[in-house]
Copies of this chain bind each other. A is one copy, B any other.
Amino acid sequence: MVTKEIEDKCLDLVKRSGIIILSNLNEKGYPSTRALLNMKSNGLKEFWTTTNTSSKKVGQIKNGQKASLYFIDEKNFLGLTLFGTVRILQDENSKKKLWQNGFEMYYPKGVSDPDYSVLYFKTGSAEFYHDLSIVEFEI
Contacts and interface: CB of A to CB of B under 8 A. Distances in A.
B31 A72 contact: no
Contacts of A35: 72, 74, 79
Which of the four size classes fits the interface of chain A?
20 to 34
A97 interface: no
B34 A21 contact: no
Interface string A83-111: 10000000000000000000000000000
Given A21-B21, A21-B33, 8 more contacts: A18-B74, A21-B70, A21-B72, A23-B31, A28-B66, A33-B70, A34-B79, A35-B79
Contacts of A70: 21, 33-34
Give chain A's interface secondary structure class: strand
A81 B33 contact: yes
A19 B81 contact: no
Contacts of A118: none
